Amino acid sequence: MIVRYERIAHVQERMREQGLIAIVVLNHDDYRYLFGEDRWQPRALIPFQGAPELIAFTDEEPELRAAVADGRVRVFGSVGGQINDIVGRIRELVAEGAAAGIPPGASGRPRVGMQMWFQTPAFLVDLFRHVNPKVEVVSSDPVMDALRMVKDPEEIILMTEAQRIAGVGMDRARELLRPGVTAQEIAAEATYAMMRAGAEGTSTPIFVNFGIETCMLHGRLSPRPLERGELVLVDLTPQVGGYCANLARTFVLGEPDSRQAELLAAYREIVAAVRAAMRVGITTAQLDATAKEVCAGHGLAEHHVYGIGHGIGLRFEEPPASTIIPQHRSLPLLENMTVTIGHPVLAIPGFGGARFEDVYLLTAAGPEILFDYPIDPIIAS
């Protein structure tokens, strides 16, 4: 475990600015970001000042203590007594925060932050509220997002490696495309290829969809074997060191018909146009407008869907999360953000859809693709 004291110091500085006496970490991504590794049930507390505090089970204590041998991490050890420990610690922090002049929230109660995203369990937040009635639970996202949206060189190395590994998986998926292959077989082989190449797993299930199921925004594995002439959509999300890749490609098994060809050509053009438009300061809404224009040029404007890209990092979808949080569509992109382009399916309902998704690092000079995987959709059959 390599505790990231510099990152924690930045977090604490922002906590004091924004008036949080503590952040309770319950999520893999924040835990990785701050403590440099993962646990099955990551649990930690970041006070507004002083050493971060890991929350551990008794059996884990010796190993965690050894891993943070510099003694700057406090470990709560008692099984079953964790809730009491936390209540007691929050009570101390309420007093320390008042003494340090940390202002309370609108309710008059001191504020404690928690990540408000898909992996924060509602019942734990409600339990925390119930046992700590004198504090107000607020989102820690305004503290964390600004730091995590902008990647440092070490993060970009891991993300590039993850994206390279996604390419290994896509190579394997592509070579399996033939009549009769199943989505399950493609998923098994691509997962294996990616894990052999060093992925620790995938951040989402693998998506392999055939034919009409390529319309499904979030379908999983098509249930029936691939047939000649069908569209195939493969979406791979391997992780390396917790960092997520996202590589999606659409193929057609054999010569595309005119509608398939139109979808594939349109998406290729969308990607090119959006890449050309990407620069520091632009918003996803503006990039969506570019994408929509291309769709219109192909007579597909009615099928255009907003949310051409999203932030990616230790979470598969993270700010700017234009497809989840409408306000993020107007967030200007910053230097050293990592964003995907190619998220929405361009689909003709009842027929099929296409997308080509890659991850880009935004630099002052424009977007740099993290790993340049070819767009080469036609599979001879």
Q: Is 10 exposed, middle or buried (0-12, 13-18, 19+ CB in 10 A)?
A: middle
Tokens 């924690």 map to which residue? 8
Q: How many residues lie near its own copies (CB under 8 A)?
A: 56
Rule CB under 8 A: is residue 350 a binding residue for its own copies?
yes
Task: Mark the segment that binds its own copies (CB under 8 A) among 5-13, 216-224, 245-253, 279-287.
Answer: 216-224
Exactly one of 103, 179, 205, 366 binds its own copies (CB under 8 A); that residue is: 205
> Residue 191, interface with its own copies (CB under 8 A)?
yes
Among 187, 233, 253, 274, binds its own copies (CB under 8 A): 187
126 binds its own copies, rule: CB under 8 A = yes
Q: How many CB atoms lie within 10 A of CB 11?
A: 26
- Nearest 5°: the CA angle 267, 269, 209 is 15
Backbone φ and ψ of 291, nearest 5°: -60, -40
Q: Does 208 contact its own copies by CB under 8 A?
A: no
Q: Which residue has the tokens 């190579």?
A: 171
Within its chain, how far is the Cα of 129 from the centroid? 27
Distance in Å, CB of 96 to its own copies, minimum: 26
Q: Per-residue contact track with its own copies, 227 to 246, x per CB under 8 A?
A: --------------------
Quick check: 121 binds its own copies (CB under 8 A)? yes
Closest separation in Å from C-beta 116 to its own copies:
4
Radius of gyration of the chain from its Cα atoms, rounded to whole angstroms: 23
Cα–Cα dist 78/122, whole Å: 24
Q: Which stretch binds its own copies (CB under 8 A): 6-14, 120-128, 263-271, 366-374?
A: 120-128
DSSP letter (8 states) at residue 317: S
Of 180, 236, 179, 181, whose CA–CA distance to 207 is shortest? 236
> Would you give the binding string for its own copies spanning residues 26-65, x where CB under 8 A is met?
------------xxxx---------------xxxxxxx--
Q: Is 147 helix (H, G, I), strand (E, B) or coil?
A: helix
Nearer to its own copies, 67 or 378 (CB): 67
Stretch that binds its own copies, among 147-155, 249-257, 275-283, 342-350 (CB under 8 A): 342-350
The distance of closest approach from Cβ of residue 315 to its own copies in the complex, given in angstroms and rounded to an integer, is: 13
CB of 28 to its own copies, least distance (A): 10
Q: Give me the residues paired with residue 345 across strands.
A: none
Specify which residues 201 forms β-bridges with: 239
Q: Collapsing DSSP states into helix, strand and coil, what is residue 93?
A: helix
Decide: 86 and 130 in contact? Cβ < 8 Å.
Answer: no
Positions that interact with its own copies (CB under 8 A): 38-41, 57-63, 79-80, 114, 116-126, 139, 184, 187-188, 191-192, 195-196, 198, 200-201, 204-207, 212-213, 215-221, 305, 326, 345, 347, 349-350, 353
